Structure 1
Amino acid sequence: MDSDASKADTLRGFQACFFVMRRLAAFPWTVLEKDLESNKSSDLILDILKHTCLHPVCRTFPPSARFRRTFLSELIRRQEAAGCEPLDELYDALAEVVGAEDAAEFYKSYFLPGGEAVSLLENAALISEGTTGLVTWEAALYLAEWALDHRQVFAGRTVLELGSGVGLAGIAICRSCRPGRFVFSDGHPRVLQTLRSNVRLNGLTSPAVGVERLDWTAATEGQLGRIGAETVIASDVVYDPGVAAGLAKLLVRILRSSSPDVFICSTVRNQETYSGFTQQLAKEGVGHQVMPGGVAGVFPYSRDSPIEMIKLFKRSE
């Protein structure tokens, strides 16, 4: 490798991609290929193993067995193609997962800037048990990155997250932004079960952190008042006209009853649906402003789709 810094960046790249199970094409293979060609040594591959399959996080919260088999097979293929000496640790790691059962659920781990991992139980299916809430979507990753850049929005405040899903954004905020109290919420029983499990396995406990069932169409004034949110967030919740309508009505109620800061992060897949959401808010006297600027690229995910972060506000009478 050209330098220790370059090697560290390469290892972080492999680690980040491995633990969120990115497509193999997204890994920094070019750097590895150049190292194998110039050194004819397996040293870098061994370091990659230590940051992926042999890492303590993988022992406790492993990605799917199928993904690990595919990743290790690709490492072996590239090592053999370069004519390097066989690496026992590489073949031992593959032997561990050759006969492992492929499960519908597995762990993904997202590394924060300080090196801590947010590990989440997720589902292989994008839609499972009638919900899309059992996987982490791009807007949640963007929201988490935005929060890391704007920690003052959350520090010391009571935060309510709507449609928390598996919990990535909220857990990252709890671990990095020091909220006074954080309330995760969702309306689907299966999602709530997974969410509670993920909150626990990341070491978050009550009373500072809570998980509630919150039905957007049936939430009471008492429930909202008891939460007393000073900051409200949501990500990837404006994807269906029916869902978006219920969310808009709830947000109008929240803004009328108090004056929290409300941030909605959306992957804009259908402009008509997204515009319908903001237009419904406008009819109720709620405006929005698009938050300017980008975010630091902390997590590995596709940034091809347009993602928009907006802040809501009550229009003056």
Structure 2
Amino acid sequence: MDSSSPSPSSAPSGSRAASNATQRWSILRRALLARSSSARALGGISSDHQIKDGTNNISRKASRGFNLIECHSLPISQLLKSLGNSLNENDFECQKDVYVCYKLPCRGSSKLDLVCRKEDSLELNDIEASNKYNIDTTGLVCCWPSEEVLAYYCINHSDVFRSKKVLELGSGYGLAGLVIAASTNADEVVISDGNPQVAEYIQKNISINAETFGETKVKSLILHWDKEQASEMLNTFDIIVASDCTFFKQFHKGLARTVKSLLKHSATSQAIFLSPKRGDSLDKFLGIIKENGLSCELIENYDPTVWNLHKKLVAGEDRTWPNYDKEHCYPLLVESNVICCRFLRLRIC
């Protein structure tokens, strides 16, 4: 998951950018209060006015990302036609959903068919669910750039996952987890998110692509980092992956505890995180990781293709992502003149 960045002419510094990103989600939560007349009365001014004031300074994500995996959107009706009788139209919210076909850059030219929300279809009941389950709605917005990079990395390091039990945390629509299941010969892949609405989409996508996974067992899971995990899951995963899961600081401790409790106690087990800097959010998460007895290796340039794309975007040689901001869009920490990796390999000490 990633956030939108301001246009180059008004790009804020790290701390201000992080503040704007947090404000963006605060505005969404405030929008929920607009449904309550009592809340409006207590506020003294119109919620619509507050929201308008807040959004004037916030831009929206306007790119698919690094475009590492070829994909194109098609009508849901075309997906239903290709699936025959295995699913029907009632399984989808056709006014909200879009069908995206991914062609994976790996041997055999595998493809994945994902159903996800249209980017402009977030509704107030989504925010209500967010408040009810104490979980953000980012997974319903889109497939974020860091998720795409994670999926691409997993394809290029498929041997790491061979015969392993893998868990993806904060999966959103589950692109990375589905890619692992389709292209790496993993033994089992569990694709999880704390938002029940998102988990429903994950399960749909698993069902749609079932024939792509071969012998790999694949399942969805509602997994909230702030809750105790089932005893049968403790210390059972060889590899845990996640992308852009360090944005909300209130979940840092729960995320670190979840990784430590679910990762297998083995010299070869590891958690692979991809996350942009986002102000000080990632640095704070690294501190929490150390407090929980996890060590991490920071790698700066983990993939030449991704790195070269990043350099071209920063230099302005590639203008396909006009509001590109290195602290928010690229899963690598660039702070002052010192480059520290934003790609994390976490191991239990």
> Normalising to structure 1: TM-score of the pair?
0.62
CA–CA distance in 1 between the matches of 2:75 and 2:304?
Answer: 26
Equivalent in the alignment of 2:276: 267
When residues 297 and 176 of structure 1 are mapped into structure 2, their CA distance, relative to the original with a 3 A threshold, is: farther
When residues 187 and 147 of structure 1 are mapped into structure 2, their CA distance, relative to the original with a 3 A threshold, is: same
CA–CA distance in 1 between the matches of 2:77 and 2:157?
Answer: 30
Equivalent in the alignment of 2:138: 132
Query: Of the candidates 186, 209, 218, which is equivalent to residue 218 of structure 2?
Result: 209
CA–CA distance in 2 between the matches of 1:314 and 1:52?
Answer: 40
CA contact (8 A) 2:72 2:100 kept: no
Equivalent in the alignment of 2:171: 164
The share of aligned pairs that are identical, in percent, is 24
Q: How does 1:1-317 map to 2 (within 5 A)?
A: 59-60=78-79, 103-113=95-105, 114-125=108-119, 129-130=126-127, 131-134=137-140, 135-203=142-210, 208-220=217-229, 222-225=231-234, 228-255=236-263, 260-270=269-279, 272-295=280-303, 297=305, 305-307=329-331, 308-315=342-349
When residues 281 and 56 of structure 1 are mapped into structure 2, their CA distance, relative to the original with a 3 A threshold, is: closer
CA–CA distance in 2 between the matches of 1:249 and 1:52?
Answer: 37
Deviation track 1:254-303 (CA, whole Å, cap 9, x = no partner) reads: 35855621111113222x111110011112221211235343659x9957
CA–CA distance in 2 between the matches of 1:160 and 1:247?
Answer: 13
CA contact (8 A) 2:75 2:98 kept: no
Deviation track 1:145-185 (CA, whole Å, cap 9, x = no partner) reads: 11111111101111111112101001111111110111111
CA contact (8 A) 1:289 1:312 kept: yes
Shift in Å, 1:201: 0.8
CA–CA distance in 2 between the matches of 1:278 and 1:241?
Answer: 11
CA contact (8 A) 1:145 1:295 kept: no
**Count of paired positions:** 228
Unaligned runs of 5+ in 1: 1-21, 28-50, 63-101
Moved segments of 4+, more than 6 Å: 55-58
What letter corresponds to residue 157 of structure 1 in structure 2? K
CA contact (8 A) 1:61 1:109 kept: no
Shift in Å, 1:124: 2.5
CA–CA distance in 2 between the matches of 1:157 and 1:186?
Answer: 20
What letter corresponds to residue 198 of structure 2 in structure 1? V
CA contact (8 A) 2:165 2:187 kept: yes
CA contact (8 A) 1:138 1:267 kept: no
CA–CA distance in 2 between the matches of 1:122 and 1:161?
Answer: 18
SS of the residue corresponding to residue 267 of structure 1 reads coil
CA contact (8 A) 2:187 2:216 kept: no
Shift in Å, 1:194: 0.7
CA contact (8 A) 1:111 1:118 kept: yes
For the pair shown, the structure with the greater C-alpha radius of gyration is: 1
When residues 174 and 57 of structure 1 are mapped into structure 2, their CA distance, relative to the original with a 3 A threshold, is: farther
Shift in Å, 1:309: 1.6
Deviation track 1:127-153 (CA, whole Å, cap 9, x = no partner) reads: 651311122111111111111111111
CA–CA distance in 2 between the matches of 1:106 and 1:60?
Answer: 10
CA contact (8 A) 1:140 1:169 kept: yes
Unaligned runs of 5+ in 2: 1-61, 82-93, 128-136, 310-319, 332-341
